[in-house]
Structure 1
Amino acid sequence: MFDQQARLDRVLARHRDAIVVEPVPGRPALIRRDEILVSGQDAGAAESLVRRWSDSRHDERGVTRLRLRAAAKVDVCELAAGLGGGAGARVADGRHHRLSVSPNHLVHGQPMWWSGPADLPRPAAPVPAPEAAAARRDVTVAILDTGLSPHPWYADAQWYREQRAEVEEVLDADLDYELDAQAGHGTFIGGVVLRHAPTARLVARRVIGGDGVGDELDVIRALGWLAERRRRADVVNISLGCHTYDDRPSPVLARAIAALGRRTVVVACAGNTATDRPFWPAAMKPVVGVAALDGEVRAAFSNHGWWVDACAQGVDVTSTFVRFDGTRPPVRGIDPDLFDGYATWSGTSFATPAVAGRIAGLAAAEGLDAVTAADRVLDPAAHPVLPDLGVVVGSGERLGREAVTAHTE
């Protein structure tokens, strides 16, 4: 397997303001040093309470980032817990108001540490583009990820031309002539969605870099942008996430998701650490958390637990990818890093768009709203259910109820 510590060291070397915190032994998290996030309506009260340590304030789309002076050596986890636990601002009757405050957690799709793909992408042969069937209504799927590079499946589509310049993936940000660790992740996910919902209109936002690392603030900004759009997304795919310092959902991120409204379905990956530790935002109640199957059983890398809602195939998935030729030489006539628009990859990241796509495809085909479509796709009375993995979606539905029963005994 992979050297997780080495990958962590590379993340910390590349993101100098990131630190590992571990308030609970054995349950680490990554955060931005000396930063706290506050929901917009609580920004003034929070700033007043931390003014002795405050360095700067930045407001954007319903979220405020407060930077604290490094010299003050503030424990931002302890500070967030205090402000959010009742030690916040006083309201008119003198009682304390719990503020929506969180450290700025790093979110990951990659490197393969706490999240993201479970292996490296491998070049694959071309896959025929999905054929668009008749649709009773237009459906929009938002993909918050690394971006979306041009591909024959959709390069000429109007929805892609409208956003191409701002969302195209960065393939080699560090200029080492190698494909960045997670470059192509968003493009791969887009292809999986289209296989299940060929008529879907995809809307992409870059929230993590080619190294697969971003932060909670980037995700909240993107969610805020989606909430403000005249035409909101029917389904939002988030194939990334994090563990939090207290294993509870970030209240700031939770409010950003709630702001999308009840007509939007958010689908997120359960993570790849083979643990039942909650992974956010997948573990949030309004979010559909997705685990990965390997055939008829849980993929060895997939997270699992009471908080997982669904599962789909996540091993050796083939989809759209970027074009890139790395520096490694061919071996027995096969070039291991020559990508020509297609790849095979594994991870809960790629089970997630199968579920998102299935919801979007059903909504388009039958003229349903996304919530109704999700209820049907995730109906435990109509589909097999696996303990700690939720409803089986997609190709995994060949798993019979006898196998499910045997698995639970």
Structure 2
Amino acid sequence: MLRLIADRPDVQPDAWEVLEEDARDESTPWTLSLDHVMTALPFTTHPFTTHPFTTHPFTTHPFTTHPFTTHPFAAQPFTTHPFTTHGMAEYGVPGSGGRSPVAWLGAPPTRRVRDDGDESRTPDGAVRPVVAIVDTGIGTHPWFGTYGLDADQDEGNGVVIRGSKLPDGPIGTYPVPELPEEDAEIGGASTAPLTGPLDPVAGHGTFIAGIVHQTCPDARLLPVRVVGGAGAAIESEVIESLRRLLRFHRQGLAGEAGYVAVDVVVLPMGYYHEQPEDLQWDHPLSDVLARLRDSGVAVVVAAGNDGETRPEFPAAFAPEVDRRATPPRIVRARDTSVQRPPILAVGAANPDGSTALFSNDGPWVTCVRPGAAVVSTVPRTLDGPSTPSLRTRERFADAVRSTIDPEGFQGGFATWSGTSFAAPVLAGEIARELLAERSRPALPADATLAGSADRADRDGEARVAAIWRAISGATGGLSFDEASTPG
């Protein structure tokens, strides 16, 4: 550990000066690097987005023929609030894509279950694809079982692989809060525990899990905790968690008990460079992502929610793609080859198919998937301090009636917006492609193409080839053409 000491007591030490000096000093065997703050922030309703006076109780007067033609409260000065949102910020407003409770009326996704209770395989014997969600965890929900601070009470309902760890602790390095109220997937009240509102990313991991589950119901989900409810993660901690995930994956490939091989990683967070030279400090993160892909793991990353063309990393590690071409074509391979599948950067689309205004874009964005006003799962335990605007006793039943509680998610479903929720759509599509291939009968001529799920799980070269085919199938034909993609 290094401690910065300023030459003058009235001047704060500047870490950037230390980095610059270290770059010039070749006498030391070590180098210093920046530790970026990575964020996983979708569009969340701000307490001032909708003002309590926007719809005033006196706008409609109880007397149809009032002696005053214009009632003094009919034109309330706060009807148009100075914080009323337009453009990108609309996505943070409930009803326009902001996090908001909704009612789910459909059946759960159809999942095939074996009679012998083996959760790792489908009834036809295919190994279920495993999707690792590197985020806040996965909370309690009927689709995903129960989650609590006491790991002995965790149960994944056959879908979530709960309690997975290495000998020295959990895969994700983010500390588990002492109080359940402060856990992003239980109470979601760590940033303002006394007053609220809910944390910006409370329920974020569960929401992503629901999207993968809707897209590929037969996939297994592996939660890797790297971030809390505030939505900010330290890059070095994310890197360490990814390294631990790689260890877990390799031990799964080796067939060790208690471990599973991972097929897809969803990474819904990123950071920007402060200046172009920062690229030289990206090696630790790009290296662990490269090693995952070398081991036959697809890496899917959110493109970012700032409406920027400025590259956000790690999404911008992705190869440059011509999305206008049919099929889409890699035009600059970067860190991609036949032996190393690409990082996949995903932008967000509106329900009508148009690109969401907030979605970052550039040649490094691989594709666009639904990511605005998406409906998915949230922990049923989330119930923030915000309350319905009106609440009264029901007259004809033993119940209450009220307006919608903006932070009451006991129903287990919500709408939300962000590229964080577009990335798991593609991840689920890749998992679905993998499962379809694993479910095909193995033919002698197909032996080198991972026709057997067991062989694909053991054979690194076969796994990489299978991931490439799944990526191509999910993206409409994206492939690596060495002749047309120089460096």
Work out whether 1:128 is the aligned partner of 2:147.
Answer: no
Q: Letter of the 1:69 partner, please give it.
A: L
Sort the Cα spacing of 1:87 and 1:111 in 2 relative to 1 into closer, same or farther, 3 A.
farther
Which residue in the other structure is 1:20 paired with? none
**TM superposition shift of 1:351:** 0.6
Task: Give the match's secondary structure for 1:203.
Answer: strand
Q: Which residue, out of 218, 223, 226, partners 2:242?
A: 223
Deviation sequence 1:338-381 (CA, Å, 0-9, x none): 11211100111111100111101111122263332012212457
Specify the alignment match of 1:239 in structure 2.
Answer: 268
**Residue pair 2:348, 2:359 contacting (<8 A) in 1 also:** yes
2:426 is aligned with what amino acid? V
Structure 1 stretch displaced more, 126-135 or 188-197: 126-135
Instruction: For 1:355 and 1:330, locate their aligned partners in 2 and report how far apart those are by CA, in whole Å.
Output: 36
Deviation string, structure 1 residues 255-301 (Cα, Å, up to 9, x no partner): 12122242111101110111110001111134111111122321111
Q: CA deviation at 1:335?
A: 1.7
Which structure shows the bigger proportion of residues in strand conformation? 1
2:456 aligns with none
Q: Distance in 2 between matches of 1:117 and 1:228?
A: 42
Q: Does 1:139 align with 2:139?
A: no
The structure 2 residue matched to 1:258, chosen from 290, 300, 307, is 290
Change (3 A) 1:290 1:111: closer
Report the AA paired with residue 124 of structure 1: V
**142 and 329 in structure 1: CA distance in 2 versus 1, 3 angstrom threshold:** same
Q: Please point out which of 286, 300, 303 is paired with 1:267.
A: 300
SS of the residue aligned with 1:337? coil
**1:293 aligned onto 2:349:** yes
Q: 2:419 matched to which residue of 1?
A: 348
**C-alpha distance in 1, partners of 2:103/2:205?**
19
- Which structure 2 residues correspond to residues 383-394 of structure 1 after superposition, within 5 A? none
> Which of 398, 406, 409 is the aligned partner of 1:339?
409
Change in Cα spacing, 1:208 to 1:78, as seen in structure 2 (3 Å) is same
Paired residue for 1:378?
Answer: 475
Say if 2:139 and 2:203, in contact at 8 Å, map to a contact too.
yes
Letter of the aligned partner of 2:101 in structure 1? Answer: P
1:360 is aligned to: 431
Q: Is it true that 1:326 corresponds to 2:384 in the alignment?
A: yes
TM-score normalised by length of structure 1 = 0.67
Aligned length in residues: 308
Alpha-carbon separation, structure 1, partners of 2:361 and 2:27? 37
Cα distance, 1:283–1:82 mapped onto 2, change above 3 Å = farther
Change (3 A) 1:254 1:154: same
Q: SS at the partner of 2:312?
A: coil
Structure 2: how far apart are the matches of 1:301 and 1:350?
13
Structure 2 vs 1, CA of residues 349 and 333 (structure 1 numbering), >3 Å: closer, same or farther?
same
Report the AA paired with residue 417 of structure 2: S
In structure 2, distance between residues paired with 1:380 and 1:140: 23
Name the counterpart of 2:153: none
1:110 aligns with 2:41: yes
SS of 1:311's partner is: strand
After superposition, residues 75-224 of structure 1 pair within 5 angstroms as: 75-77=14-16, 79-80=18-19, 88=26, 102-110=33-41, 119=92, 120-126=98-104, 127-133=106-112, 136-155=126-145, 156-158=156-158, 160=160, 162-163=162-163, 169-170=185-186, 171-173=188-190, 174-176=192-194, 177-224=196-243
Contact 1:235 1:356 in 2 (8 A): yes
Amino acid at match of 2:99: P
**Would the aligned equivalents of 2:301 and 2:315 in 1 still touch at CA under 8 Å?**
yes
Do structure 1's residue 302 and structure 2's residue 320 form an aligned pair?
no
Which protein shows a greater Rg?
Answer: 2
**Partners of 2:348 and 2:422 within 8 A in 1:** yes
AA in 1 matched with 2:103: A
C-alpha contact 1:188 1:321 (8 A) present in aligned 2:
yes
Unpaired runs of at least 5, structure 1: 1-55, 57-66, 92-98, 383-409
CA distance in 2, matches of 1:270, 1:257: 16
Moved more, 232-241 or 160-169: 160-169
Q: What SS does the aligned partner of 1:128 have?
A: coil
Does the 8 Å contact 2:43/2:416 carry over to 1? Answer: no
SS in 2 for 1:370: helix
* Structure 1 residue 157: Cα displacement: 2.4
- Cα separation, 2, equivalents of 1:117 and 1:180: 19
Q: Provide the C-alpha distance between the structure 1 equivalents of 2:308 and 2:20, rounded to a whole number of angstroms.
A: 25
Three-state SS of the structure 2 residue aligned to 1:338 is coil
Number of the residue aligned with 2:392: none
- 1:315 aligned residue: 372
Give the distance between the partners of 1:147 and 1:212, measured in 2 at CA: 12
Identity %: 33
Q: Which residue of 2 aligns with 1:29?
A: none
Q: Output one character per residue of 1:104-160: Cα deviation in whole Å (capped at 9) or x when no partner.
A: 1111112759x9995241001125321125673321111111111121112142463
Q: Quick check: 1:124–1:342 contact (8 Å CA) kept in 2?
A: yes
Q: Taking structure 1 as reference, are residues 237 and 70 closer, same or farther at Cα in structure 2, changes over 3 Å only?
A: farther
Q: TM-score, normalised by structure 2?
A: 0.57
- Root-mean-square deviation (CA, aligned residues, Å) is 3.1
Corresponding residue of 1:407: none
Residues 24-54 of structure 1, C-alpha deviation per residue, up to 9 Å, x if partnerless? xxxxxxxxxxxxxxxxxxxxxxxxxxxxxxx
Which residue of structure 2 lines up, in the alignment, with residue 10 of structure 1? Answer: none
